[in-house]
């Protein structure tokens, strides 16, 4: 897929939630995606998923409530991907944050 294929043809719909980790995102994913396409518009064809920055907060720092253990992070990310890929049949573009430690 080439970038020029979408030039002037794609709308970007943001569904970001500042401070969320994968655990919290799973709880709101279906509701967050309701109405992602405007009435009468085509359904989304690609989704960018970016998680990890909040999940990697160290458990002994003041953001301990955002920390997600690696095995849970992997499971959560797989569930998020399955939602988009299986239920909506969408292409996924995955981005992960660099670990702090």
C-beta of residue 62 within 8 angstroms of C-beta of residue 15: no
Tell me, what's the pLDDT at 95? 65
C-beta of residue 88 within 8 angstroms of C-beta of residue 44: yes
DSSP code, position 37: S
**Model confidence at 2, in pLDDT bands (50, 70, 90)?**
low
Find all residues with CB under 8 Å of 86, minimum gap 6, and list them: none
C-beta of residue 84 within 8 angstroms of C-beta of residue 47: yes
pLDDT in tens, 36-71: 666 666 777 777 788 888 888 887 767 778 889 989
**CA dist 67 → 27, 51, 59 (Å):** 16, 12, 6
Q: Which residue has the tokens 């430690």?
A: 101
| pTM over 0.85, yes/no | no
Tell me, what's the pLDDT at 21? 92
């Amino acid at each position: 897929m080439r970038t020029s294929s979408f030039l002037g043809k794609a709308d970007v719909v943001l569904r970001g939630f500042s401070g969320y980790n994968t655990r919290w995102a799973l709880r709101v994913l279906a509701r967050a995606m309701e109405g992602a396409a405007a009435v009468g518009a085509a359904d989304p064809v690609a989704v960018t998923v970016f998680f990890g920055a909040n999940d990697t907060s160290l458990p002994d720092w003041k953001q301990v409530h955002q920390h997600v253990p690696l095995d849970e992070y992997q499971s959560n990310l797989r569930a998020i991907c399955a939602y988009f890929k299986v239920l909506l049949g969408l292409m996924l573009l995955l981005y992960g944050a660099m670990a702090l430690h």
